[in-house]
Structure 1
Amino acid sequence: MAAACGRVFGKVGRSLAEVPVTRRTGTVSYLVGTGSAQVSRRAYGTGGPGFRSRLVSGAAGGSGLLGCAVLLGGGLGLYQTVKFWVQQHQHLAQEEVQAVGGGLKLVLYQYKTCPFCSKVRAFLDYHGLPYDIVEVNPVMRQELKWSTYRKVPILMVNGQVQLNDSSVIISSIKTQLISKDKTMSEIINCYPEMKSVNENGKEVTEYNNKYWLMLSEDETTQVYPEKGMQKEEMKWRRWADDWLVHLISPNVYRTTGEALASFDYIVREGKFSTFEGFFAKYVGAAAMFIISKRLKNRHNLQDDVRQDLYKAVNDWVAAIGKKRKFMGGNQPNLADLAVFGVLRVMEGLQAFDDMMENTKVKHWYRRMERATLNHEGRQ
């Protein structure tokens, strides 16, 4: 309707501008000619100096009042047209977001430099799922005071369902994207919590089935068309959690210089107060340098922990092979996204540069980078 009004005003303006007028005022013609007349040309697409001069003459002559009214009306029509266009595109954009996210409103509670949080972001980004981020202060963790589960990542779905553990989050959301008839509450019941006490006397929480997608037989065949694909994906997702992630800290805190550089990055990207940031950078770096040595012994790593990182990454590349772009084939699967998410937290640090230079991971990594940035898994 607004567009139609604009066209009507345009026709009236053109017919009025063609009426001969003999009286002109030079000063007024100059002001209108550099302002209103140019706007009218853009609005109606009529162009040409002839039309502009006739319109200026009409505005400056005996029909000046009526001409100004026409200009005002045309401007109003243009405004309504633009407003209507913007509203329509906003509505379409909102519908697109809702369609992409399956109607899910997602809020991720995270530390940016946490490899498990990075896994979740890689998955959400690849699938083009919109989500909000709440950066948690790693010292006070006030952002999680509402939750009895105090670790990150946590993903809140529609403000009602809380998903804990990075692998549970990924499996749950992936299941929902495929089996749209299942509710998130139904899906999360398939990943029950199991609490136990480890060898150090500390209570730990584990989740059953967390590497499984809860799909029907037909859906499973569609997602994993070749024999062995599902087991391979699960194997390497578990490998990323149980082995690869434990190589990160010993490598990024390998020396005192690397520890300081790592904490400088953590403080810069994280949510710290000035005092907390200073304390974390220097005291935290020293502490993690010492802890990294204990982690090296706990996981039976070599004295040169870089060699374990190189071997792990090259084992991953060898498992993909030369005939596949990704472990998932032509598109990344959940194992690709998990490994990429873990390795990505080292970007900007010496360990990452050494890994890229001394292993065969570079081409796969850059393909994964493009796939997540371009949301290539968007449905």
Structure 2
Amino acid sequence: MAAACTRALRKVGWSFLGSPSAHRSGTVSYLLGNVGARGSGRASGSRGPVVRSKLLSSLRAGGGRALGCAFLLGGGLGLYQTVKMTVQQHLAEEETKVSAGGLKLILYQYKTCPFCSKVRAFLDYHGLPYDVVEVNPVMRKEIKWSTYRKVPILMVGDDVQLNDSSVIISSIKTYLIDKEKSMTDILRCYPEMKSVNDRGKEVTEFSNKYWLMLNEADTSGTYLEKGGQKEEMKWRQWADDWLVHLISPNVYRTTGEALASFDYIVREGKFSTFEGFVAKYVGAAAMFLISKRLKSRHNLQDDVRQELYKAVDEWVAAVGKKRKFMGGDQPNLADLAVFGVLRVMEGLEAFDDMMANTKVKYWYRRMERAALNHEGRPAGRNTEQ
């Protein structure tokens, strides 16, 4: 639309410059006549017609050319702004494509799931655009096409499906660093294994899920400190095997906290009205009881808050006083995993208690800023596959 207006202004301008003087004077008279009619209230006595007469005389002497130049100038400025905006929009689109490594990402999730929150923290920090499909936790019809029935699931393009939060994070991080491997090649490094646990339930696990599949040069460039890779892997696994199991016993610790937690889950999740009602009241009661069993299963002390405080302070001590993050000046994958898990408690009593009774606050706020500002945005890579 802006370009069309610019072309019209240019045509008008050239018509003023190229047309006969008498024609220009008539056109100028018509334009000024309209202006004079609208502004006659500002003139006093008989000065209005005199002023208009002088203006018309001056414009007849060359004002038409001046007006034509004004139209040309306006058209030129409009054209400049149009081209500038088009170029800026194109560059912004290209930057988005490059920063995402050319990936089209769709995340299937429950918003309040700590494993899904881990993936979102990773994608946000790295500035990777993605679409979200909120899955109904009752019917799960949004993932009925998948034989893998858990979330998160991340679809890459139209045909590559990534399952398990740690596999998703490791494989995407590998892809962003390694400029040679395709996503399909990387996924083969995380084979799926099925087994039966001690309760007789079939479980799916993935090999190598805390490893980045990098060559020696890329590994050295990614982990600048000696022992950095092992430290990152250790704490990523700690977040999955220990920290995440402290969330439910803490947010469902009392009946009041259980109701508040399910109110949040229903508000943020995808439920029908009936499902939301049942989830809030029946689910809250059920999770209150289940949290007691979880406390026993994971050998937690009666005061589960103390277990949470102990774990969080253990993490802060591992980061240390000399580093902003475990990754140094920038978060690594362990930072993002711990942040993602803890973030699901925001707005609940357990979160407020944790922030008040541990030393995690300053690290947590730094992580918030890093994720919000996409501080890990990649420089880009060749996306040919």
- Distance in structure 2 (CA, Å) of the matches to 1:283 and 1:195: 32
Q: How does 1:101-140 map to 2 (within 5 A)?
A: 101-140=100-139
Aligned partner of residue 109 in structure 1, secondary structure: strand
Q: CA deviation at 1:226?
A: 2.0
Aligned partner of residue 314 in structure 2, secondary structure: helix
Aligned to 2:89: 90
- Given the superposition, is the C-alpha separation of residues 31 and 288 from structure 1 closer, same or farther in structure 2, using an over 3 Å criterion? farther
- Distance in structure 2 (CA, Å) of the matches to 1:31 and 1:269: 60
- Given the superposition, is the C-alpha separation of residues 21 and 334 from structure 1 closer, same or farther in structure 2, using an over 3 Å criterion? same
Contact 1:13 1:71 in 2 (8 A): no
Contact 1:6 1:77 in 2 (8 A): no
- Given the superposition, is the C-alpha separation of residues 57 and 283 from structure 1 closer, same or farther in structure 2, using an over 3 Å criterion? farther
Is 2:218 the counterpart of 1:227?
no
Aligned partner of residue 181 in structure 1, secondary structure: coil
- Distance in structure 1 (CA, Å) of the matches to 2:63 and 2:213: 73
Aligned to 1:236: 235
Q: How does 1:124-203 map to 2 (within 5 A)?
A: 124-203=123-202
Match of 2:34 among 28, 46, 49: 28
Q: CA deviation at 1:224?
A: 1.1
User: What amino acid sits opposite 2:35 in the alignment?
Assistant: S
Aligned to 2:215: 216
Q: How does 1:1-379 map to 2 (within 5 A)?
A: 12=14, 28-30=34-36, 82-379=81-378
- Distance in structure 2 (CA, Å) of the matches to 1:360 and 1:13: 74
Identity of aligned residues (%): 70
- Given the superposition, is the C-alpha separation of residues 205 and 78 from structure 1 closer, same or farther in structure 2, using an over 3 Å criterion? same
Q: CA deviation at 1:227?
A: 1.5
Contact 1:9 1:70 in 2 (8 A): no
Any gaps of 5 or more consecutive residues in structure 2?
A: 40-51, 379-385
Cα deviation, 1:74-106, whole Å, max 9, x if unaligned, reads 887776655544433322111011110111111
- Distance in structure 1 (CA, Å) of the matches to 2:137 and 2:208: 29
Larger Cα Rg: Structure 1 or Structure 2?
Answer: 2
Q: CA deviation at 1:5?
A: 6.0
- Distance in structure 1 (CA, Å) of the matches to 2:38 and 2:314: 73
Q: CA deviation at 1:160?
A: 1.3
- Distance in structure 2 (CA, Å) of the matches to 1:130 and 1:340: 19
- Distance in structure 2 (CA, Å) of the matches to 1:308 and 1:218: 40
Name which of structure 1's ranges 284-293 and 88-97 shifts more when overlaid on structure 2.
88-97
- Given the superposition, is the C-alpha separation of residues 204 and 12 from structure 1 closer, same or farther in structure 2, using an over 3 Å criterion? same
Q: CA deviation at 1:185?
A: 0.3
- Distance in structure 2 (CA, Å) of the matches to 1:296 and 1:234: 26
Q: CA deviation at 1:311?
A: 0.1
Aligned partner of residue 140 in structure 1, secondary structure: coil
Any gaps of 5 or more consecutive residues in structure 1?
A: 34-52
Q: CA deviation at 1:349?
A: 0.3
- Distance in structure 2 (CA, Å) of the matches to 1:31 and 1:115: 69
Aligned to 1:45: none
Contact 2:121 2:336 in 1 (8 A): yes
- Distance in structure 2 (CA, Å) of the matches to 1:339 and 1:57: 76
- Distance in structure 2 (CA, Å) of the matches to 1:68 and 1:111: 63
Aligned to 2:47: none
- Given the superposition, is the C-alpha separation of residues 194 and 63 from structure 1 closer, same or farther in structure 2, using an over 3 Å criterion? same
User: What amino acid sits opposite 1:28 in the alignment?
Assistant: N
- Distance in structure 1 (CA, Å) of the matches to 2:336 and 2:289: 31
User: What amino acid sits opposite 2:159 in the alignment?
Assistant: Q
* C-alpha RMSD over aligned residues: 3.4
- Given the superposition, is the C-alpha separation of residues 355 and 90 from structure 1 closer, same or farther in structure 2, using an over 3 Å criterion? same
Aligned length: 356
